[in-house]
Chain A
Amino acid sequence: MRRLIFLLPIVLFAAVVAAFVVGLGRDPSKLPSTMIDKPLPVFDLPPVRAGDTGLKSADIQGEPRLLNVFASWCVSCRVEHPVLLALKARGVPIDGLDWMDRADAASAYLVANGDPYARVGNDQPGRAGIDLGVAGVPETFIVDRRGRVRYKQIGPISPDDWTHVIAPLMDRLRAES
């Protein structure tokens, strides 16, 4: 029995290693969102596309929708862009929040790369993004039919993220009354 005490340092060491494996394996840029289960903050953003209406927070409800935060200067948004176009082709409603960007630059970006968005608003001062707790682009919020944020994707949506995380969640949200 007394011998067992000599195993204690080994057990403690194993616990520390386990804590490091879990802790260091996390991506520090993925911050937990404070927005989950809360209604979208109120915003009313000017349009990006010429002759368009822009984006109001009140528009984002009625059915589960994606709110994609992007910018024309953002490199990983270009990686994500084809995925968004494919989702649009499948009928997924996506709204765009053009963050800390010039509207004319974003408009040119959508003309050049295709336009997956139902509505797009320009947030050059970045306030709507800050109210949403956006730390970088792209980020995508999944908003339920009552206009509450239910999930936040940090970084580009990969086809894998869509199939395994977002699509099942959208199905569940559609089934909610």
Chain B
Amino acid sequence: MRRFAALIGAVMLAAGPAHAVLPDEQLKDPRLESRARAIGSELRCVVCQNQTIDDSDAELARNLRILLRERLVAGDSDQQAIAYIVQRYGNFVLMKPPLNEETWLLWLGPLIVLIGGGIAVGVYWRGRARALPPLSDEERAGLERVGRSDEI
């Protein structure tokens, strides 16, 4: 029983996340293959746009995985291999878009909202502090009188 549980445990540990990368696509050199996996998980499949080419079962994603591995075998650096695909499909294929004149609002937007919100809160607090000056003696006396009164 214990052995069986150990076996189940070992199998569960060995099971990674499901990938569409098929055995016949994989490179024999484990270092190249792991580089290909790292790049493949950063590239968007243009058919099913919210999947990476490593996750997608689309035929085009498979062809791009094979192409990517060919580039790496041919001696491309990671950057060169990515550039090769970006040259054809544009920056859209990068899961993490680069910071440029088209995407600055996307990258800096949250920071702008945070700073804008901070300024708004600061202005509000300062305004409130000024709107409520301390009670004058006259007001304080009036308040006392109301507090002592039995009338409601």
Contacts and interface: CB of A to CB of B under 8 A. Distances in A.
Contact of B90 (A32, A100, A125): A32
Contacts of B67: 127, 130
A131 interface: yes
Interface residues of B, number: 13
Contact of B46 (A100, A132, A135): A135
Nearest to B86: A34
B49 A28 contact: yes
A133 B87 CA distance: 8
A100 B59 CA distance: 8
B59 A34 contact: no
Contacts, number: 39
A133 B63 contact: no
B100 to A, nearest CB: 14
Contact of A133 (B47, B59, B89): B89
B59 A31 contact: no
Given A100-B59, A130-B64, A136 B47 contact: yes
Contact of A31 (B60, B63, B89): B89
Given A126-B60, A130-B63, A31 B88 contact: no
B136 to A, nearest CB: 25
Nearest to A29: B49
Given A28-B49, A127-B67, A135 B90 contact: no
A130 B88 contact: yes
Nearest to B59: A100
Interface in A27-48: 28-29, 31-34
Q: Is the interface of B mostly helix, strand, loop or mixed?
A: helix
Given A100-B60, A127-B67, A135-B60, A34 B89 contact: yes
A37 B107 CA distance: 30
Nearest to B123: A5
Nearest to A131: B88
Contact of B47 (A127, A130, A135): A135
Interface in B3-51: 46-47, 49
Nearest to B92: A31
A126 B89 contact: no
Contacts of B59: 100, 126
6 contacts: A31-B89, A31-B92, A34-B89, A126-B59, A127-B67, A131-B88
Interface of A: 28-29, 31-34, 100, 125-127, 130-133, 135-136
Interface of B: 46-47, 49, 59-60, 63-64, 67, 87-90, 92
Given A28-B49, A126-B63, A130-B60, 6 more contacts: A32-B90, A33-B90, A100-B60, A100-B63, A127-B63, A130-B67
